[in-house]
Amino acid sequence: MNLVLFEQDRDFIIQSLRHGQIDYLEPVTEALEADLFRQLLGRQILQRLAESFPSPRQKEEVPVWLYLASQISLRLHRAAGYHAFPYVIRTGGLLAALGPAVGRQAVPPDSGVASTCCPGFNHKNRYDRQTPCDQDFLRQFARDTDSDRLQAWFHAQVPRLLRSLKLFDAEGLFVGDASYVFVPDNEHYEHSAKLLFDEHNHPVDPNKVDPRDRRYQWRRCYKLVSLIHVNRSLDFFLAVGARLAPGHQHECPLLYALVEEFLRAVGRGVMRVLIVDRGLLDGARMGRLKQDYQIDTVVPLKKNMDAYQDVVGLTRGKHFRWEALAEPAPAVERPARPPDPVLAQREHKRQATRAARPPAPASSSRTLLGLARGVSSWSECPVPLTAVIHREIDAEGQVEDWILVTTSASMSAAEVHATYQLRTAIEERHRQYKCFWDLAKMSACRFSLVVSQVLFLLLAYTLLEAHLVRRRRQELDRRTRGRVLETLGPTVDRVAVYCQQRFGLFSLPEFAEILLSLPAPARRKLLPKIRQLRRDLYRLLENARAP
């Protein structure tokens, strides 16, 4: 069965109603998920992703775009197992976006329980379909998809999609990082590794600590290396690359391989700055990115490096200058409405009480920044570096230094500091993935299924982020998945009317007014049509199998 698209055209539908002509009507609920899928289908996003998807099937009985839509819907609903697909279809917004050609929802008068009926894409089922495709099809399709080809598809197609939607920021800031994905201690998890972690979930060498210490625990895990696009104001967080590997594999070559794949997918000029942590230090690759692609890297140095000691030595020179790190400027407040007199009086009393209190002692801790350009003592890096020395001085006068380096020859010390501060945002995103999107809630041990869950979760997250940006709702970006869906969740009940592959959405009072104002000939033509739709819909549910 081919994809059937419906164009929203209220004027056409109103004229069709006045002539007594409709194909189908149904009640729908306007929600974020339905709006998201309408955008994905209307802009041909799912179709473009499906064209290049590494399908494991030679014969396509179910369209790949429906498989992608089903995977995204499952991730939006935090469903780790495919057995939840019938319930997600009943409660989500996917069917409302697909229209009656793929599925309908009704409440039979005998049971009073909402149910769905779908024509399906083949004629092999003995029971009436309540989902567009079977849950076993989704599981088997994901299981048989080659994990390497799936990851290569993600690295190539997602950046191209975001570029076509013009979602890449002109400054070109990207963050590379690695995180551990913990799974149950089951040796059947393919390609997983069991490592010793401390109380902060940092891996430790079992030969250097006492494994019997309760502060350390053996945990089974994978390593997720990700490449993320952000902007200065952190209005979005778009995953453009991800690689899942055994937990003991080093993340450095994996990340720079992601960068190379990203550059092959979108070309030069999109990525301008790469922000990484100490674990991803690689002077040779940093130099290659600068020389071949004009990409600057911002990264802290390790204290055991010779380059670190050389830069600290520069601070002892009599001509070396320090500058105080300026406090961030307060956010610009929007013009307020005229104050309420009662509230204004309360605020005046509160300010007077605060002014009467003795002032709190100012914190004497401060941060000094020092800048050194043309540093070439790191032999592994073929390009000169700009070093920014951070000298942290606490209230007791204790001093601690740490150093950021960048391959940029023009960034100021404050710019380098502010740029690296963006990397800390990724920690909150990892928390979002793991706590509120159930990234590590694995229901299968096969590696292809694990990779499928991780990549489709990142795809769903990225598409939702892109949807919020296009809807100009960036302020919701920092909220959890549940809060976003609750904020943009079901808003109002509508009546969807379809005719000749066009549809219109009407509020209940609006639709009732249109029906009551129709001329008598149009009402006489609509009445038998609506009765026939009602009979056909209930007849489709007579042989439905319980989900």
Is 337 domain-assigned?
no
pLDDT confidence of residue 394: 84
pLDDT confidence of residue 353: 82
DSSP tally for the chain: helices H, then strands E: 18, 16
Is 40 domain-assigned?
yes
Contact criterion met (CB below 8 Å) for 265 and 156: yes
Using CA atoms of 225, 227, 231, 235 in order, give the dihedral in degrees to the nearest 10: -60
C-alpha 263/C-alpha 465 separation (Å) is 22
Same domain, yes or no: 78 and 179: no
Same domain, yes or no: 111 and 12: yes
Q: What are phi and psi of 386, to 5 degrees?
A: -105, 125
Same domain, yes or no: 207 and 254: yes
Is 374 domain-assigned?
no
Please say whether the dihedral angle defined by the alpha carbons of residues 428, 433, 438 and 442, taken in this order, is positive or negative: negative
- The SS3 call for residue 179 is strand
Per DSSP, what are the bridge partners of residue 182? 221
C-alpha 256/C-alpha 181 separation (Å) is 20
Of 455, 482, 509, which residue constitutes the final position of a domain? 482
Q: Can you tell me which residue has the tokens 């350009």? A: 373
74 closest CA partner among 62, 55, 87, 59: 87
Of 482, 502, 526, which residue constitutes the final position of a domain? 482
- The SS3 call for residue 414 is helix
Contact criterion met (CB below 8 Å) for 99 and 530: no
Contact criterion met (CB below 8 Å) for 189 and 149: no
159 closest CA partner among 172, 149, 144: 172
Is 85 domain-assigned?
yes
The string over 192-218, giving b where at least 16 C-beta atoms fall within 10 Å of a residue's C-beta and e elsewhere, is: bbebbbeeeeebeeeeeeeeeeeebee
pLDDT confidence of residue 362: 54
Is 61 domain-assigned?
yes
Cα angle, residue 469 at apex, residues 223 and 467 outer, rounded to 5°: 75
Is 390 domain-assigned?
no
Cα–Cα distances in angstroms (integers) from residue 530 to residues 41, 131, 278, 474, 475, in the given order: 28, 24, 66, 42, 43
One digit per residue, pLDDT tens: the chain, 547 residues? 445 566 778 888 888 888 888 887 766 654 567 778 878 887 889 999 999 999 999 888 888 998 998 898 888 877 767 887 877 777 667 776 776 667 666 655 565 555 667 777 766 666 667 778 888 889 999 999 999 999 999 999 999 999 998 999 999 999 998 889 899 899 999 999 999 999 888 899 988 888 788 889 999 999 999 999 999 988 888 999 999 999 999 999 999 999 999 999 999 999 999 999 998 999 999 999 999 999 999 999 999 898 899 998 888 888 889 998 876 554 444 444 555 676 677 777 888 887 777 765 555 678 899 999 999 888 899 999 999 999 988 878 888 899 999 999 999 999 999 999 988 877 776 667 666 566 767 778 999 999 999 999 899 889 888 888 877 655 545 555 454 554 444 455 677 788 887 878 887 788 888 888 888 888 888 888 888 776 665 554 454 555 4
Contact criterion met (CB below 8 Å) for 82 and 134: no
Same domain, yes or no: 188 and 240: yes
Same domain, yes or no: 46 and 152: no
- The SS3 call for residue 219 is strand
Total domains present in the chain: 2
Domain residues for the domain of 241 are: 147-271+424-482
pLDDT confidence of residue 67: 92
Of 482, 506, 525, which residue constitutes the final position of a domain? 482
Is 94 domain-assigned?
yes
Same domain, yes or no: 107 and 191: no
Same domain, yes or no: 137 and 262: no
C-alpha 81/C-alpha 79 separation (Å) is 6
pLDDT confidence of residue 294: 95
Which ranges of 124-229 does DSSP label H, i.e. alpha helix?
135-144, 147-164
Per DSSP, what are the bridge partners of residue 401? 391
Which ranges of 425-480 does DSSP label H, i.e. alpha helix?
425-431, 447-470
Same domain, yes or no: 91 and 206: no
Is 2 domain-assigned?
no
Write down how long the chain is: 547
C-alpha 188/C-alpha 446 separation (Å) is 8
Q: Can you tell me which residue has the tokens 């992703």? A: 49
pLDDT confidence of residue 222: 94
Terminal CA-CA length for the chain: 23
- Assigned token pair, 419: 């740029």
Same domain, yes or no: 136 and 159: no
Contact criterion met (CB below 8 Å) for 497 and 503: yes
Helix (H) or strand (E) holding 415: helix 413-421
pLDDT confidence of residue 419: 94
Cα angle, residue 250 at apex, residues 417 and 301 outer, rounded to 5°: 25
Same domain, yes or no: 163 and 42: no
Number of Cβ within a 10 Å radius of residue 23: 16
Type of residue at 78:
R
- The SS3 call for residue 14 is helix
Cα–Cα distances in angstroms (integers) from residue 440 to residues 151, 184, 222, in the given order: 18, 9, 10
pTM of the model: 0.75
pLDDT confidence of residue 434: 64
Contact criterion met (CB below 8 Å) for 468 and 474: yes
Cα–Cα distances in angstroms (integers) from residue 70 to residues 352, 413, 460, in the given order: 59, 47, 11
Same domain, yes or no: 115 and 11: yes
In 410-524, beta strands by DSSP E: 492-499, 502-507
Same domain, yes or no: 141 and 99: yes
